[in-house]
């Protein structure tokens, strides 16, 4: 079991995220490892928690199977149209004449076909665009995003979750989360200096609140 192996040998967050397959197995699979999730969160802070959430969503989607893509909307419509339209048309036509047959056939075909196709396609589009796209981008691009890119992406995620805000405190904490994750990932002197400056900014904002 992947989680048992991970728990036995100990975990480092960079090993968990080394490749997509390993990360998905340890963070989002049916045999996901609590220790792996904790390692990623502890290493990368809030960004790590969002990465875990993203891999959990990937694992859930893999387990449930992919949604039908939008191009399948028209086959549903044509299937319903041919199933409900022409049989009714030919049946009614044989009883009421060719005019009623063709009218009822085309009417039933169009009324049952395109609404079902477009409705199902619209519902699937809404499911695909339900606020998780930015977290998926974080999972996909985390290794390549710099602090500014992470900061902007965190702002989009906050907006998706109704947590947006432009106040100094919100902005400072968002920048702190971004620089912390990059410093933990890259380990460069420049990344650590950026994190320390971000931490100092947050502390200066928080200090008056603590004093009061």
More confident residue, 199 or 113: 199
Residue 56 has pLDDT above 80, yes or no: yes
pLDDT score of 77: 45
* Residue 49, φ and ψ in degrees, nearest 5: -65, -40
Which residue's entry shows tokens 């965190």? 154
Averaged pLDDT of the chain = 74
- What is the mean pLDDT of the segment spanning 184-205? 96
- Looking at per-residue pLDDT, the higher value among 204 and 106 belongs to 204
pLDDT-above-70 percentage for the chain: 59
86 pLDDT more than 70:
no
Question: What gap in Å lies between CA 110 and CA 156, rounded to an integer?
Answer: 41
Taking every pair of Cα atoms in the chain, the longest distance, rounded to a whole number of angstroms, is: 89
Q: Residue 164: what pLDDT?
A: 62
Burial of 117 (0-12, 13-18, 19+ CB in 10 A): buried
The two tokens of residue 30 are 């049916």
Query: Which residue reads 């009883």 in tokens?
Result: 95
When mean pLDDT is compared across 1-5, 20-24, 158-162, 185-189, the lowest value belongs to 1-5
Express as a percent the part of the chain with pLDDT over 90. 43
Q: What pTM was estimated for this model as a whole?
A: 0.64
Neighbours of 189 (CB within 10 A): 9
Q: What is the pLDDT of residues 128-186, one digit of tens each?
A: 445 579 999 999 999 999 999 999 999 999 988 877 665 778 999 999 999 999 999 99
Average pLDDT for residues 106-124, to the nearest whole number? 43
pLDDT digits (tens, 9 = 90+) for 60-79: 888 776 544 444 444 444 44
Compute the distance between CA of residue 138 and CA of residue 70 in angstroms, rounded to an integer.
Answer: 24
| pLDDT the model gives residue 168 | 76
DSSP state for residue 124 in the 8-state scheme: H
């Amino acid at each position: 079991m992947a989680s048992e192996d991970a728990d036995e040998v100990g975990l480092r967050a960079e090993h968990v995220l080394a490749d997509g397959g390993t990360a998905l197995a340890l963070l989002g699979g049916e045999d996901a490892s609590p220790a792996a999730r904790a390692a990623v969160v502890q290493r990368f802070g809030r960004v790590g928690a969002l990465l875990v959430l993203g891999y959990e969503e990937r694992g859930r989607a893999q387990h449930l199977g992919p949604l039908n893509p939008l191009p399948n909307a028209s086959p549903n419509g044509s299937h319903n149209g041919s199933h409900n339209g022409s049989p009714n048309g030919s049946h009614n036509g044989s009883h009421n004449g060719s005019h009623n047959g063709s009218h009822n056939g085309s009417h039933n075909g169009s009324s049952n076909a395109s609404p079902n196709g477009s409705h199902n396609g619209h519902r699937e589009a809404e499911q695909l665009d339900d606020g998780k796209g930015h977290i998926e981008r974080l999972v996909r691009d985390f290794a390549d995003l710099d602090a500014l890119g992470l900061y902007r992406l965190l702002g989009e995620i906050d907006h998706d979750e109704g947590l947006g805000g432009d106040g100094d405190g919100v902005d400072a904490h968002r920048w702190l989360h971004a620089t912390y994750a990059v410093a933990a990932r890259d380990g460069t002197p420049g990344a650590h200096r950026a994190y320390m400056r971000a931490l100092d900014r947050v502390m200066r904002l928080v200090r008056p609140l603590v004093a009061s």
